[in-house]
Every structure is written in C-alpha cells, then in structure tokens.
A and B are shown apart, each in its own frame.
Chain A
C-alpha cells in the first residue's frame, strides 16, 4: 500500500526510516527519519564516515535507499536540484561560462538563449569578468564560486552542498559563507549543507542535524543524534561570529557530537 500524499503546506521533504547499505554490509545510514521545511537552511554535521554524504546523495537521488521512503511535497523529486561538491568539479577544458552553461546545455538550451541566465549567475557570485577564464586560471575560491553559479543557473528550489568549502582557506571560506547566506535570502532556496565544521554550521544554519556513527565511534551506521535550532536572526555578520550566543551554540553542538559518539 502506498503512503498517503503529504498534506499541503507540510514539509518540503520527509524521510521515514531511511537506511542505506552498500553490498549488504553494515548500513552507512540506518533508520533516519526527518523532515525539511521549505526555504530553510539545514546543516548536517558529523565526523568523517558518519554517513552525511550518503544521506545527501540519497536526497539528491544519486543513491536509492535500501529501506524507508523519501517523500517530496509535490509527490516527486524536483527536477532542478542544485548540487555543489567538495571539489569545484568543473570541466577543466571549458571556460567559466561554459561550465555554468552546462546544466542548461544538457536541457537543450542554445548558447544564445542561455547567455543572459549564465551571465546573471556569474554576476551573482561576483565573477562577471571571469567568464572566459579556464578553471586552472582561477583560484580555489573562484572555482567554488563557478560551481555555485552552475548550481544556481537552473534556479533550483533546493540546493544540496557536500562540504563545499572544506578545502578552502579560512578567510575565503568565511567570505563564501556570507555570500551563500546572501544568495539564500535573496533567492528563497532550501539549502541542505553538509559540513564537519561545527563553527560553520552554527554560523550558517537555522537548524543543525547532528549525526553520529553509532556507539563509541565504532563506525556503525550513521544516525541522527540530535536536532539543534539556531534561533539567531539574519543577516549574521561578524557581530554574530563574535557573540557569546554563537559560542554557546557551538558548545552545544560539540557536546551533542560527543554524546552521539559516546
């Protein structure tokens, strides 16, 4: 029997008892149930190997769950999911313009028809002047910006990000955090953001799902250990980064992480 369709104005996405195991081994994630509200900024935080990337790939449809269901508000997964990988994952032989054009090209749009949208997307991430540059001519931060422009060019309702800024230096990372928040507030996306940085997750998110890999950090199946709300208002600039509320939240999430693995 199929489950009843989700009620209108319900959550954008509901996961019920989702598990995923590869080749019948110990599940990478086990029995995860959660819901994501439309327009929210949610982070998945946890140690390496706790299954947060697996969970993100399940949501993206790149993996199929072994058990459980994913229910989208509209009945099926939105066509245009934006996905940003840990590496910029650009075509090395294509210019910034052509990399951002790629999703539209795959949908059959001609270069001319896509021109304005691609240029808008590049301008939004501050790379209006770099559209002819090849990836190897750009810095790590700029490459990640191209990657974000590519994700937003299709105007996706949902943006999935898999530790996107982990390889960048602290300064570039904080800058991109702020730019990402601006884009999120401007465009009304739902963002699901995977990170292993407690500080980054607290700074960015409205809600943090703390993941653990079972008891004693033994590499057991990944589970949701805690669900933390960060109620600080946006925009969150330097004052928030330096506030005691910020540090209290960080302490709380760190404790939840430790408890989850204890």
Chain B
C-alpha cells in the first residue's frame, strides 16, 4: 500500500474502532444518555437539529472569518508600519503585547459593556479579532526584518525606493512568516469567537457556543456533542484551507514546501 494512503487510513481505522468501542460500552453498560450518549444517538441528534445547528454554525463561521480577515489586514498593515518606522514600533509594540497576554475572557465583559448588549455580534467580532491579531503582527514583523542583508544592500545600490523595497523584497520574503502566522491565527479566531460567545451568554447569541450552553442547560447532552463535533470540523476545515494556501503560495520556491523526493 502506498504511504500517503496508509497515513490517511490508519487514523480513520483508529477512529472507527474507538467509535465502535464507545457505542458498545455505552449500550452494554446502560450509561444514561445525559451522561455519555452513544455515537449513534449523537448522530440522530445532529440530524434532528440539522437546520438550527447549521444556522448556528454559519453565525460562528461568519464571525470567525470576518475576525480572521480583519486580523490579517490589520496585522500585516501594522507590521508594515513598524518596518517603516522604528519609533512607531517602539511606541506601539508593547501595547500589542499587553493586548495579547491579557486573557480575552477577562476583557470580554468590558467590551460587551462598551459595545452594548444589543450589539453582541460586534463584541464577538472585536474579541475574536483581539485573539487572532497578534500572531499575524508578530510573525509579519519578524518576516519583514529577516530579509537577507545582502539583498537589502543590493536594493540600496540600485537606488530602490522605500515602496519598491517593501513590495519587491520585504513582503515576498516575509510571505512564509505571514502564512505561518495565518495558520495559528485562523484557529485562534475560532477559539476567540467561541470564548466570546460563552462570555456574552444569552442575548442575541445564536452561534454554536451558545447552542452548547443552551443544550447543556436543558441536559440535551447529545445535541451538545453534535455542536461540539461541528466546531471541531470547522477548526479542521480552517486549518486545512490555510495549509493548502501555504502550500500553493510557497511550493515552488520555499524550502519548507519543496518536496525533496521529487
């Protein structure tokens, strides 16, 4: 069997086996479904609530993607600004770090008050953005600074303008760093959106995290599991999409993406 197929098949078989053991243990042990529902029961709950879970998924997805997009734009833009002026970097970077190290759960109530409880989605967006923003900023800053010094000298020799240097040298050189930051930040945007939804609690919250809280309150544990499953799948989808993007952007020239055996 070829190696790639083997690498995909093994975890799938392990997963199926685990589900089988789970199903058998719950059925034979007569475990109540509000403690641990069998996989088949979770599947049924997913089908029964498919419409409402999907609309909740869409709410969470929308906030995650929007926060992620704003984090990419804001993080790259600020990093470019930093690369152009040491003074601005010196002045602002400490605050970016403070924003990053303060737990988002602790900031959330404050943001909710500021934005207003009738505008919860905006608060969710801000909170998810705060979490997703920093990896992009710090990675891009590092990437813009990691340009080969001889290439910088070469651009100086040929009288390149600031803009030419940025566009033709620094940004392409920083691309692997930016994409690496995006991979971290994509997952964090989802975590940020979910955590913010938990903190926001009720109100207009209709995302997956809110569905988990709501189902928990009603002891609908199978529905909780179904929502959890969808969140995991969403996280996996984001990770794979960004990995694919990274591969497509770097496969021709960057050491990290070059296939040695080809």
* Chain B min CB distance to A161 (Å): 13
On whether the beta carbons of B151 and A106 are closer than 8 Å, the reply is no
Given the known interface contacts A102-B168, A105-B168, A106-B164, the answer about A92 and B254 at a Cβ–Cβ threshold of 8 Å is yes
On whether the beta carbons of A89 and B151 are closer than 8 Å, the reply is yes
Q: Chain B residues near A83: list those with CB within 8 A.
A: 153-154, 157
Q: Does B86 contact A (CB under 8 A)?
A: no
Given the known interface contacts A89-B148, A89-B151, A134-B252, the answer about A62 and B156 at a Cβ–Cβ threshold of 8 Å is yes
* Chain A min CB distance to B148 (Å): 7
Q: Does B172 contact A (CB under 8 A)?
A: yes
Q: Does B160 contact A (CB under 8 A)?
A: yes
* Chain A min CB distance to B172 (Å): 5
Q: Does B22 contact A (CB under 8 A)?
A: no
Q: Does B70 contact A (CB under 8 A)?
A: no
On whether the beta carbons of A106 and B253 are closer than 8 Å, the reply is no
On whether the beta carbons of A89 and B253 are closer than 8 Å, the reply is no
0/1 interface trace, chain B 152-176, chain A, CB 8 Å (1 if under): 0111111110001000110010010
Q: Chain A residues near B172: list those with CB within 8 A.
A: 91, 93
Give bound CA distance, A79 to B153, whole Å: 15
Q: Does A60 contact B (CB under 8 A)?
A: yes
On whether the beta carbons of B169 and A93 are closer than 8 Å, the reply is no
Give bound CA distance, A134 to B253, whole Å: 7
Q: Does A81 contact B (CB under 8 A)?
A: yes
Summed over the interface, the residue pairs from A and B with CB atoms below 8 Å come to a total of: 50
| Chain B residue at minimum C-beta to C-beta distance from A90 | B151
Q: Size range of the interface on A?
A: 20 to 34
Q: Does B105 contact A (CB under 8 A)?
A: no
Give bound CA distance, A126 to B212, whole Å: 67
Give bound CA distance, A166 to B156, whole Å: 24
Q: Chain A residues near B85: list those with CB within 8 A.
A: none
* Chain A min CB distance to B87 (Å): 21
Q: Does B150 contact A (CB under 8 A)?
A: yes
* Chain B min CB distance to A2 (Å): 25
Q: Does B107 contact A (CB under 8 A)?
A: no
Q: Chain B residues near A61: list those with CB within 8 A.
A: 157
* Chain A min CB distance to B122 (Å): 39
| Chain A residue at minimum C-beta to C-beta distance from B159 | A106
Q: Chain B residues near A134: list those with CB within 8 A.
A: 252-253
* Chain A min CB distance to B220 (Å): 52
0/1 interface trace, chain A 78-99, chain B, CB 8 Å (1 if under): 0101010101010111000000
Given the known interface contacts A102-B168, A134-B253, the answer about A89 and B154 at a Cβ–Cβ threshold of 8 Å is yes
Q: Chain B residues near A79: list those with CB within 8 A.
A: 159
Binding site for B on A (CB under 8 A): 57, 60-62, 79, 81, 83, 85, 87, 89, 91-93, 102-103, 105-107, 134-136, 154
User: Beyond A85-B153, A87-B150, A93-B175: 7 further Cβ-contacts under 8 Å?
Assistant: A89-B148, A89-B151, A89-B154, A92-B253, A106-B159, A107-B158, A135-B253
